């Protein structure tokens, strides 16, 4: 896929590193450029391996990369980075908008070094005052984007999405932007800067909710698990206290669903006969289905409805989700040996399925590949690298 492309990943914490890992999953060589003290994500999580100290937060988005620890504020460090950029295809960074120019990593400086370079920049809100320096943490972006206003139960408080959707969606868009930029450079022989804002990405994901507002002027609100324009499309409590999600969309699925739950009478009930009728009488329908689903366990209902080809599934915990047979069948749980202890560790798998794809390597030690990368990509000899280490421009092997 991207096996001939080299990407310099200057991002940190979550969204940007997630983009870098996606590119690695597509086959690119991704080099993580870290400050001498390392990515902050190496320190932020309480879930860490006692024998190594790598937090789960860091491990989750940095597989398949190599690491070089480099002081970009040092003039010599900047020259080292330029040498790496000359032999690369793209740079990812997530600095505040005014930082690239101060570091000599802005568009003009980098394209002067390598005119074919794609520069993919992740920002929070906007690159102009008064927003350029505004902190844009995931929760803040979720709040600004409107997603919190349509998440949660009707009449309840706004609720954040359960994982960092602003950061992670920003990473997805950043990886896509980077791929587009690299392909353009390959075609035209000319690189450029492509910018992705966390807020822009969340606004883009509003899709039909925003479009319906533009058309009608009606402001959407939260509906819990219930779909605002399809019924039934909701979750229901079962005999064992667990929940099942059910969404028999369309008349054919509606008829099959009614037969599967033993309520064929609902098909001809004038309150529920057509899709619009079911929306108009959704509360009455929900009351009936609450009683129906309370009669069996979630597992019993799931097995029965799956056999009937009704769109339904149990509501899984994270543990259920990653341990279900389907996750294994799709290779979405991989096992990788820890390089130090040899212990087998589980990671999430690669969502891109292509011939020849292999599980990504364990996330890198801080500066673990500094010397090898400087030799291979920049042509430095050991004396030159030793000098950089002594000047504290570069660190290697996890030592700052």
**8 Å CB contact between 67 and 366:** yes
Residue 227 bears catalytic tag: yes
Please pick, among 126, 227, 316, 338, the residue that the annotation labels catalytic: 227
Element (H, E) at 146: none
Element (H, E) at 347: strand 344-348
Q: Looking at the chain, how many residues does it have? A: 400
Measured between alpha carbons, how far is 153 from 29 in angstroms, rounded to an integer?
44
3-state secondary structure labels for all residues of 62-123: CCCEEEEEECCCCHHHHHHHHHHHHCCCEEEECCCCCHHHHHCCCHHHHHHHCCCCEEEEEE
Measured between alpha carbons, how far is 265 from 255 in angstroms, rounded to an integer?
10
3-state secondary structure labels for all residues of 277-296: HHHHCHHHHHHHHHHHHCCC
Classify each residue of 60-82 as buried b or exposed e, where b means 16 or more C-beta atoms within 10 Å of its C-beta. Answer: bbbbbbbbbbbbbebeebbebbb
- List active site positions: 227
């Amino acid at each position: 896929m991207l096996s001939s492309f080299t990407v310099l990943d200057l991002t940190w914490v979550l969204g940007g590193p997630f983009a870098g890992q996606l590119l690695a999953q597509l086959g690119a060589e991704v080099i993580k450029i870290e400050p001498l003290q390392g990515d902050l994500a190496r320190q932020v999580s309480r879930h860490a391996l006692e024998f190594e100290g790598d937090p789960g937060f860091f491990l989750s988005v940095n597989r398949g990369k190599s690491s070089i620890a480099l002081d970009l504020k040092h003039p010599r460090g900047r020259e080292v980075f330029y040498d790496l950029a000359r032999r690369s295809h793209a740079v990812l960074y997530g600095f505040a908008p005014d930082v690239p120019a101060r570091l000599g990593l802005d568009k003009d400086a980098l394209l002067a070094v390598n005119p074919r370079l794609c520069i993919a920049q992740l920002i929070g809100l906007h690159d102009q005052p008064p927003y350029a320096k505004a902190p844009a943490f995931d929760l803040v972006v979720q709040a600004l984007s409107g997603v919190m206003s349509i998440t949660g139960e009707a009449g309840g408080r706004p609720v954040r999405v359960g994982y960092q959707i602003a950061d992670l969606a920003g990473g997805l868009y950043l990886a896509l932007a980077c791929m587009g930029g690299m392909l353009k450079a390959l075609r035209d022989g000319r690189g450029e800067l492509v910018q992705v804002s966390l807020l822009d990405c969340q606004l883009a994901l509003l899709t039909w909710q925003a479009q319906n507002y533009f058309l009608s002027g009606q402001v959407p609100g939260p509906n819990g698990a219930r779909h605002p324009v399809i019924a039934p499309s909701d979750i229901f409590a079962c005999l064992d206290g667990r929940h099942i999600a059910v969404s028999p969309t369309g008349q054919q699925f509606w008829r099959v669903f009614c037969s599967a739950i033993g309520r064929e009478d609902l098909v001809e009930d004038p309150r529920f006969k057509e899709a619009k009728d079911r929306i108009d009488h959704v509360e009455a329908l929900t009351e009936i289905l609450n009683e129906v689903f309370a009669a069996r366990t979630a597992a019993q209902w799931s097995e029965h409805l799956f056999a009937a080809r009704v769109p339904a599934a149990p509501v899984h915990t994270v543990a259920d989700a990653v341990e279900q047979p389907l996750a294994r069948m799709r290779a979405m749980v991989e096992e990788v040996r820890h390089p130090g202890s040899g212990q087998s560790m589980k990671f999430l798998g690669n969502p891109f399925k292509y011939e020849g794809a292999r599980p990504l390597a364990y996330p890198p030690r801080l500066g673990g590949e500094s010397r090898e990368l400087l030799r291979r990509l920049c042509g430095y000899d050991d004396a030159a690298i030793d000098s950089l280490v002594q000047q504290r421009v570069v660190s290697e092997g996890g030592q700052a």
